[in-house]
Structure 1
Amino acid sequence: MATKKKIITRDDIVSIYMNDVLEAGKRPASVFHFVKGKDFTEAEFYAFFGTLESLEKEIFRLFFVNTIDLLNKNTDYLEYDMKNKMLSFYFTFFEILTANRSYVLQTLKADLNPIKNLVQLTSLREAFKEYVAEILTDDYRLEQERFQKFQEKTIQESAWLQLMLTLKFWMSDASAGFEKTDIFIEKSVNASFELMNVAPMNHLLDFGKFLFKEKIYSR
């Protein structure tokens, strides 16, 4: 009796690709080279991914998705304020990266041009920015609505930059258990939320609004 062929899944391809990259010490030259000798075809690969590059982007996005899934399983997390949600995200995200450290280091250092390596993070970037917008609370939102959209984009981009700086620190961290990264996360997140204190900015905008009205109506 013929053995029924296993149906390949998206997760299967991701796992096989990561393992191949680690064992070969480099990326496959093409989809053809990647599927050669495997139990699935190019056609089956293309059912999930258009290119190897899109697969690489998906891997880093999945690190993010798995982080959010783990966070949402913790009922306490849903009650956290924005700062503690962000801290929880960082610690969980870097635990997942640590579990896949060999792959992350190899792929983010694969090309001499760092910009080409960072292209893999574009899907992660969009997902992370959406997450930041979702957890943004009124405590960190300006009162004047016309400035809120600009403020939200600024916070998203600043948060992404902070995540990239933390990633760079973690990649160079040689401390046991990456304890220095944990310290970096706590101090950097605390500092960033201090800078996000909108009370002084709201007062400044109110003062500016007052001066503008005085100038208009005093004519």
Structure 2
Amino acid sequence: MATKKTTITRDKIVSMYMNYRLEKSDRPKSVYLFAKENGFDEAIFYSFFGTLESVEKEIYIIFIKKTIVLIQKDPAYENYDMKSKMLSFYFTLFEMMSANRSYVLLTLKEHQNQLKNLMQLTSLRTEFKIYVSEIITDEVRTQYEKFQNIQEKAIKESAWIQFLMILKFWLEDESASFEKTDIFIEKSVKASFELMNIAPIESIIDLGKFLFKEKMQHN
């Protein structure tokens, strides 16, 4: 009896690529070899992706899109303020990334040049900024304007820098269930929103103490 041929989809290629990287700890040498090893024609790959690098970027887009879908399923989400939405977003995203930590560590620590590693996050960066733009409230815009005339672009850029800080902390976190990352998320988000209210001192000091303590433990 003939074996039913597996239908190749975009998600299937992503799954195959992640498995390949994890099993071989290296990139495929070419699209041809990747397709051949996984039993499908090279042309099918190109019907979904232009390059292997675009598959890598897609993986991180999937993380963020699935995160947004999950948090928006919570009936209470719509009534959250921006701070609560950001906390929900970070907790859910890093929970998802923790479930795929071996892949994330492999790809984001691959090169000594960190900029090369971060190239995989260019599409994620775009999706992240779209999300931040959608949850910015009039109250947040007003608080920023009280401090200085900051445009929405600056709010999104500062949020992206915060995300990279949390990502770096998580990549180096060795605590059980990455509980220290959860603490860092809470403290960094709290500090950033208090900066908008021009009442940052207590939260900034609290965040600084936490980072100093973590640095000393690593040393």
Whether TM exceeds 0.5 here: the answer is yes
Taking a change above 3 Å as real, the CA distance of residues 158 and 144 of structure 1, as seen in their structure-2 partners, is closer
Alignment correspondent of 2:15: 15
Q: Which residue of 2 aligns with 1:128?
A: 128
Query: Equivalent residue for 2:40?
Result: 40
Indicate the SS of the match to 1:36: helix
Q: 1:105 maps to which residue?
A: 105
SS of structure 2 residue aligned to 1:118: helix
Distance (Å, rounded) in 2 between the aligned partners of 1:144 and 1:184: 23
Distance in 1, Cα, partners of 2:150 & 2:120: 27
Map residues 187-206 of structure 1 onto 2, 5 A cutoff. Answer: 187-197=187-197
Give the AA of the match of 2:92: T
SS at match of 1:141: helix
Once the two structures are TM-superposed, the CA of residue 149 in structure 1 deviates from its matched residue by 9.5
Secondary structure of 2:157 counterpart: helix
* C-alpha RMSD over aligned residues: 2.1
Q: Take 1:39 and 1:117, find their aligned partners in 2: how far apart are those partners?
A: 29
Quick one: which amino acid aligns to residue 33 of structure 1?
L
**1:85-113 per-position Cα deviation (integer Å, ceiling 9, x unaligned):** 00000000000000000000000111222
**1:140–1:198 contact (8 Å) kept in structure 2:** no
Check whether the contact 1:82–1:135 (CA below 8 A) recurs between aligned residues: yes
Structure 2 unaligned runs (5+)? 200-219
Q: CA deviation at 1:65?
A: 0.4
Q: Tell me the equivalent position of 2:207.
A: none
- CA contact under 8 A between 1:141 and 1:198: conserved in structure 2? no
Show the counterpart of 1:82.
82
How far 1:40 sits from its partner (Å)? Answer: 1.4
User: Aligned residue for 2:181?
Assistant: 181
Q: Please, which runs of 5 or more residues in structure 1 have no aligned partner?
A: 200-219
Higher RCO (C-alpha 8 Å, min separation 6): 1
CA distance 1:111–1:143, change in 2 (3 Å): closer
Paired residue for 1:117?
117
Report if the CA contact (8 A) 1:109-1:117 is conserved.
yes
**1:26–1:110 CA contact under 8 A, matched in 2:** no
Specify the code of the residue in structure 1 equivalent to 2:84.
N
Q: Deviations over 1:23-73 (max 9, x none)?
A: 001111221221122121111111111001111001001000010010111
Tell me which structure has the larger Cα radius of gyration: 1
Partner of 1:69: 69
* Percent identity of paired positions between Structure 1 and Structure 2: 64
Distance 1:115 1:76 in 2: 38
CA contact (8 A) 2:144 2:150 kept: no
- On the 8 A contact 1:57/1:124 being kept in 2, the answer is yes
